[in-house]
Amino acid sequence: MHDNEALALCEQLAPFWAEVCGSGTEICVYDLSDPEHSLMTVCHPRPGHLPGSPLPEDLRKLVDAGFSDGQSRLVAVPSESPLADLRCHVCPIGDVAHPCGLLCVTKDLTAARELNNAMQTVLERFALEQSRKEEATDNEPTLAAMMRQRIAAVVAESGIPPARMSVQEKVDVVHRLSETGVMNIKGAVGEIAAQLCVSVPTVYRYLNKHTPS
């Protein structure tokens, strides 16, 4: 498939992906042959994202770094609101070594985070969380909850939402969690991957990376 055909196919499929993902997800298709007018099509656009817009600086850096492993990348997304929680996955279109375009899927998780916080407040205010723990028949659910809370606490120590963390910042979080021993608990690696928005193999790769002295 030629570059133009690959871009045209992604452009045709963008409305379908947007319909499947819902209005909280922005779908962008970028043509890398014209960085100054790179945005070919956008569905559920965020402010300032219009067809013909230039390729954002963070995506230019990502293209320069390359997609040698062929995997999509999770990148930080600038937002008008410091409270917004945006996650953007970027996938190369065409040849991995020399992509002709980018497919960007950006999810706005702000409403979901706010709902989760509200639910936690209700559970705590009416002691519903405590009641649920007392109904447990063994220590495993309580241990799992403690494990999740500990991981969340270490992630929060950085003061940066996982979607905006750099790779090195995520590496540092994984190493701190390893030092606490939490990774020895069953299910911890999967929970770490979920909270950092990466895959389980990526967590193990981070664990093998050295942190700056």
Question: Residue 37's pLDDT is what?
Answer: 95
pLDDT confidence band for 78 (50 / 70 / 90): low
Question: Residue 79's pLDDT is what?
Answer: 63
For 73, the token pair is 């990348």
Question: Residue 90's pLDDT is what?
Answer: 92
H or E element in which residue 64 lies: helix 57-65
Residue 129 lies in a domain: no
Residue 196 lies in a domain: yes
| pTM reported for the whole predicted model | 0.57
For 14, the token pair is 């963008």
β 39-43/101-108 pair status:
unpaired
User: What secondary structure does DSSP assign to 114-147, as a single string?
Assistant: HHHHHHHHHHHHTTHHHHHHHT-SSSHHHHHHHH
Residue 168 lies in a domain: yes
Say whether both 90 and 28 belong to one domain: yes
Residue 134 has pLDDT above 60, yes or no: no
Listed residues 87, 108, 129: the one ending a domain: 108
Say whether both 94 and 165 belong to one domain: no
Residue 133 has pLDDT above 70, yes or no: no
Domain count, the chain: 2
The rounded mean pLDDT for the chain is 83
Residue 163 lies in a domain: yes
Say whether both 85 and 156 belong to one domain: no
Residue 116 lies in a domain: no
User: Across residues 193-209, what is the average pLDDT?
Assistant: 88
Say whether both 102 and 163 belong to one domain: no
Question: Residue 210's pLDDT is what?
Answer: 67
* Rounded Cα–Cα distance for residues 195 and 172 (Å): 14
Question: Residue 97's pLDDT is what?
Answer: 84
Say whether both 97 and 141 belong to one domain: no
Q: What residue has token string 């991981």?
A: 151
Listed residues 93, 108, 123: the one ending a domain: 108
How many Å is the Cα radius of gyration of the chain?
Answer: 20
Say whether both 176 and 91 belong to one domain: no
Residue type, 65: A
Cβ atoms < 10 Å from Cβ of 117: 10
Q: What residue has token string 């996982």?
A: 162
Residue 66 lies in a domain: yes
Listed residues 70, 91, 108: the one ending a domain: 108
pLDDT confidence band for 128 (50 / 70 / 90): low
Say whether both 95 and 11 belong to one domain: yes
% of the chain residues with pLDDT over 90: 29
Question: Residue 84's pLDDT is what?
Answer: 64
pLDDT tens-digit series, residues 14-59? 999 999 999 889 999 999 999 999 999 999 998 888 999 999 988 9
pLDDT tens-digit series, residues 139-190? 555 778 888 888 988 888 888 888 888 888 999 999 999 888 888 888 889 8
| 8 A C-beta contact, residue 150 and residue 180 | yes
Residue 32 backbone phi and psi in degrees, to 5: -80, -10
Say whether both 95 and 20 belong to one domain: yes
Residue 95 has pLDDT above 70, yes or no: yes
Say whether both 47 and 89 belong to one domain: yes
In this structure, what CATH number is given to the domain that contains residue 50? Answer: 3.30.450.40
Question: Residue 76's pLDDT is what?
Answer: 67
Residue type, 73: R
Residue 70 has pLDDT above 90, yes or no: no
Say whether both 54 and 103 belong to one domain: yes
Domain that holds residue 77: 3-108
